[in-house]
Amino acid sequence: METVKLTMAQALVRFLENQYVAYDDVEQPFVKGVFMLPGHGNVVGLGQALLQEAHRLEVYQGKNEQGQAQVAVAFAKHMKRKQIMAVTSSVGPGAANMITAAATATANNIPVLILPGDVYACRQPDPVLQQIEQPNDLSISTNDAYRPVCRYWDRIVRPEQLMSAMMSAFRVLTDPADTGAVCIALPQDVEGEAYDYPVSFFAKRVWRIERRPATDIAIKQAAEVIRSGKKPLLICGGGVRYSEAHAAFRAFAEKYQIPFGETQAGKSAIEWTHPLNLGGLGVTGCSAANDIAKEADVIIGVGTRYTDFTTSSKWLFKEDARFVNINVSEFQSFKLNAVPVIADARDALGKLSVALEGYKTGYNGEIKAAIDKWNKEYDRLAAIKFGDGYVPEVNDANAQSAFRYAEDVKASFTQTTALAAVNKLIDPGDSVIGASGSLPGDMQRMWRASSPDTYNMEYGYSCMGYEVSGALGVKFAIGDDHEVYSMVGDGAFIMLHSEFLTAVQEHKKINVVVFDNASYGCINNLQTGQGNASLCTELRFRNPETGKHDGNFISVDFAGIARAYGAKAYTVRTLEELEAAIAEAKKIKDVPVLFDVKVLPKSMTEGYGAWWRVGSVEVGGTEANRAAWVNHVEHEKAARKY
């Protein structure tokens, strides 16, 4: 057997260089590159290996460990899980910083390879700088915290272990049914230790991402359930996009005239103008989808995980509604007591279409009526003007906050109007990304995607800080032919925008639209909607007289922050300023752009016939607390139990 002597880290990089995936008739390298924030634990062993062995792999410099890993999550998500990035950090806090991003990846079933440095396997010296000592188990390090948030976890304590570890890692990374974050912890001494590796380990290896076929019996049972209903509803989940089943889903819906609602992950599989597209479904959904969902007797979920936002905490659908779940994951396919079709979405939809030949639904004008109703509401939301009779639809105290904010920061722009304007002003084919706050609700309801796969919403984990990093990941995925726009609240931007500087460094133009309402708006709504006073959900000065954060609102110059990084930036307070800024920004190349959009608190969309179980308090000090509990009990009784 021919061998080659390499350090463990050198062998790792050489292995990554030669991993490919094949999907249908397309073959491509699986690992695009490596994001690295160097420190002790990866700069010497893995750093040397990247300098020596990385030829095809691109190496990028991260600015925050979580930030660089969120770039990798967004990249793999936009690439439909057909290509990934690896990320590496030092030991200790550097490794711990990436745990949140690992959870983001796993919650969304997105493949990301995480390579944190680790403490010495030899335990000499012991403890090393940044090591956490556990007196009951000296084998534990910071990296053990990755175990609950990864699909596969391993630690390389001998260089020869790398071979079996990487085979298991790539088995998981290329598994559509069970992919997510993979953590391979790298003790810094073992990174530099050598072994005579078989040359065959570094040969080109093609991992086939195969379409799991639906069985005849599963299709037969699913068809029987659908035929028993007169008002079926399709759910377009992320699995439609990952399996590239866009055309099959469209053809199935059109053949049998079955309307469909979109999840956050499924949105933009089909253009918003399609006459059967009801839009967003569930807690952050619109009235069209939710009105139809409440009357549906059969729910056909395609590639969806049925999160509480999709099902409205299992309350949205009728108690006697039946479910058919098409999902490549066996775990997901059995949810809501469904008839499971454990298969690739494209394969299953094609077979189910044949099995349903002759079936007709009982809809008679309801679909168009629901869409027309929502379009009218959309037009209202897109044209709200402060000072034109507009008053926030909240209690008096919060309305006063909105008016005070307008005075403090000279703002008069409403969030729904601003969002609709951005949607209208950007070019067809441009992508949009988001993750947290009130914007995902506004976007699932209001964003009108006219081109396929242009909507990248991380709502499995709804991780604040994904938005700016993710925009860079999307930019790496789509290249320079189209633009990407990140929709981010001021709170999420403050929390994590480190990779904005990386975008400057890499000459990648990302467009970051900061919706500044000086608050954590959706959480403030949740807080006050349950009958509580505002607490830590508004960005206000501490008032010396009251000792509370009820002083003036703080006006942050987000545009100034962007300019300091070397980017182009605009401050926007009116529709006219927004139109001018976007028009000018379109002419800019190779430089990130930030739009500092000052919007009014409480000017986001409200719920449209949905309910969200939020942990209301059974015993409260206010009448509003008690009313919220009564409301909770009423809805919880009507919710499905499994």
CATH of domain 382-598: 3.40.50.970
Encode pLDDT of 559-584 as tens digits.
999 999 999 999 998 899 999 999 99
Question: What letters, b where the CB count within 10 A reaches 16 and e where it falls short, cover 258-280?
Answer: bbbbbbbbbbbbbbbeeebbbbb
Residue 221 has, within 13 A of its CA and on its CB side, a CA count of 15
Split at pLDDT 50, 70, 90, the class of 394 is very low
Each residue's pLDDT tens digit, 211-226: 999 999 999 999 999 9
Question: In 3D, which of 454, 426, 439 has the Cα closest to residue 511?
Answer: 426
Given a cut of 70, whether residue 415 has pLDDT beyond it is yes
* From-to residues of CATH 3.40.50.1220 in the chain: 216-372
Helices (H), 479-612: 490-495, 499-505, 521-529, 558-565, 575-585
Instruction: Mark residue 462 as left, alpha or beta (left: phi above 0; alpha: psi -120 to 50; beta: remaining).
Output: left
DSSP 519: B
DSSP label at residue 202: G
Calculate the CA 380 to chain-centre distance: 28
**Two tokens at 574?**
């009116």
Q: Which of 14-18, 40-44, 156-160 has the lowest mean pLDDT?
A: 40-44
Residues 16, 31: contact at Cβ < 8 Å?
A: yes
First to last CA, the chain: 55
Q: Find tokens 């992320």 and name the residue.
A: 238
- pLDDT band at residue 604 using 50, 70 and 90 as cut-offs: confident
Q: How far apart are CA 459 and CA 284, in angstroms?
A: 11
Bond into 452 cis (ω within 30): no
Q: What is the mean pLDDT of residues 39-49?
A: 95
pLDDT tens-digit profile of 224-246?
999 999 999 999 999 999 999 99
Instruction: Tell me what pLDDT residue 409 has.
Output: 67
Q: Which residues contact 137 (CB under 8 A, 6 or more apart)?
A: none
| pTM score, whole prediction | 0.95
Rg (CA), the chain: 25
Cα 264 to Cα 280: distance, rounded to the nearest angstrom: 7
CATH no., domain 3-208? 3.40.50.970
pLDDT category of residue 389 using cuts at 50, 70 and 90: very low
Where residue 402 falls among pLDDT bands split at 50, 70, 90? Answer: low
Is pLDDT larger for residue 184 or for residue 542?
184
Per-residue pLDDT for 95 more than 80? Answer: yes
For CATH 3.40.50.970, the residue range(s) in the chain are 3-208, 382-598
What's the rounded Cα separation, in Å, for the pair 393 and 602? 8
User: 216-372 sits in which CATH class?
Assistant: alpha beta
